[in-house]
Amino acid sequence: MSRLLDIDQLRTFAAIAETGSFTRAAEEVHKTQSAVSMQMKRLEERIGKPVFERDGRQSRLTADGQRLLEYARRMLQLNDEAVSAFAEPELTGSISLGLPDDYADRLLPRVLAAFARSHPGVEINVVCEQSTSIAQRIHEGSLDLGIVTNADYGGGLSEIFRREPLYWVASEQHCAEDIDPLPLALGPQTCCWRRSALDALDRAGRTYRVAYVSPSAAALSGAILAGLAVSVLPESAVRNEMRILKKADGFPALPLCDIAYLRARQARLPIHDALVGHIVSRLGNLPTAAAAE
Domain residue spans of the chain = 7-85, 93-161+258-292, 166-255
- Say if residue 293's pLDDT is above 50: no
Cα–Cα distance for residue pair 242/164, rounded to 1 Å: 17
- Sequence-ordered list of residues with C-beta below 8 angstroms from that of 174, at least 6 positions apart, any chain: 226, 227
- Residue 1, pLDDT above cutoff 50: no
- Average pLDDT of the chain is 85
Phi-psi region of 205 (alpha: psi -120 to 50; beta: other; left: phi over 0): left
> CA separation (Å) from 179 to 1, 112, 197?
60, 40, 17
**Most confident residue range from 207-211, 213-217, 219-223:** 207-211
pLDDT (0 to 100) of residue 28: 80
Same fold, 7-85 and 93-161+258-292: no
The tally of CA atoms less than 13 A away on the side-chain side of residue 60 is 8
Q: Are 228 and 176 in contact (CB under 8 A)?
A: yes
Choose the CATH number for 166-255 among 3.40.50.10860, 3.40.190.10, 3.30.43.10, 1.20.1050.40.
Answer: 3.40.190.10
pLDDT at 206: 93
Contact 73, 61 (CB under 8 A): no
The whole-number pLDDT of residue 154 equals 53
Return the amino acid letter for 283.
L
Residue 286 confidence (pLDDT) above 60 = no
- Of all residues in the chain, what percent carry a pLDDT higher than 90? 41
- 5 secondary structure, DSSP code: P
Work out the average pLDDT over 83-97: 78
What integer pLDDT is reported at residue 97 of this predicted model? Answer: 94
Closest by alpha carbon to 179, among 228, 114, 125, 237?
Answer: 228
Which of these, 202, 141, 197, lies nearest to 170 by C-alpha position?
197
Q: How far is CA 246 from the centre of its chain?
A: 21
- Residues 198-215 have a mean pLDDT of 94
Cα 231 to Cα 170: distance, rounded to the nearest angstrom = 7
Which pLDDT score is estimated for 33? 87
pTM above 0.85, yes or no: no
SS3 171: strand
Res 287: pLDDT: 43
User: What class is the 7-85 domain?
Assistant: mainly alpha
Measure the CA angle with vertex 199, ends 196 and 204; round to 5°. Answer: 125
Query: Alpha-carbon torsion 167, 169, 172, 175, what sign?
Result: negative
The CATH number given to 93-161+258-292 is 3.40.190.10
Higher pLDDT, 159 or 154: 159
pLDDT digits (tens, 9 = 90+) for 122-156: 999 999 888 888 989 998 889 999 998 876 665 55
